[in-house]
Amino acid sequence: MDENKFDTSGLNTVKRLPKRGHYDKETIFNILDRHFLCHLAWEVDGQPFIIPTAYGRKEETLYVHGSSKSRMLSALADGRPLSLVVTQFDGLVLARSAFHHSINYQSVILFGHAHEVEGDEKYEALKIVSDNIIHGRWDEVRLPTPIELKATMALAITIDTASAKIRTGPPVDDDEDYDLPLWAGVLPAKLIYETPIPDPKLKMEIEVSESVLFKMNPSR
């Protein structure tokens, strides 16, 4: 058993184009840590549900949070099976034929179960999610009051198994199509943050927070 990889099974093995599959934790965690929005899926009485939500990671645990009255969190708190997906869109792959058009992407699908966290771990979970969305913002703002904490539920998701799937590179056409007088290639894409817009209810001239400036330009 390799502690640096997730074991493969019928649940997480990439079957379609298996060469794109990755099971090492470094690749999987790197993709997870570049993002903060996932889609979380579960089942209730045979009815599937899927909801977008923010998350944060600490080691092999993911944290999510929301209202204490959230149907999603209340259902998942009992430890039922769940799946979670994160996808990074890197570009359109434009081939010479309609059939061979594709997308460059990096994705993670994980399977696990969740439980509710309380006390110090709950407080830490909220900070982890906040820092994953915009690092440093937690230290700049008013922190939750006891009433706000009571109105919030946090879950820890234990990762049972996971895999990543990645596509990179140019289109792959049929040999005879390479002679066609058609442009083909990749149209790259990436997420960018634009100029911050101040809240019109700001009561004084306040400079943009360091956390926001860092989010816009991590290399500054």
pLDDT in tens, 42-90: 999 999 999 999 999 999 999 999 999 999 999 999 999 999 999 999 9
DSSP 161: E
Structure-token pair, residue 24: 């090492």
The gap from C-alpha 156 to its chain's centroid, in whole angstroms, comes to 15
**Domain 18-216 adopts which CATH fold?**
Pnp Oxidase; Chain A (2.30.110)
For 119, the token pair is 């006390």
pLDDT at 220: 65
The predicted pLDDT at position 75 comes to 95
Rounded-to-integer distance, Cα 77 and Cα 55, Å: 15
Low-confidence ranges of the chain (pLDDT < 50): none
CA neighbor of 67 nearest in space, from 86, 50, 53: 53
Cα–Cα nearest to 191, from 34, 33, 28: 34
- pLDDT given for residue 217 in this prediction: 87
pTM > 0.85: yes or no: yes
The ranges assigned to domains in the chain are: 18-216
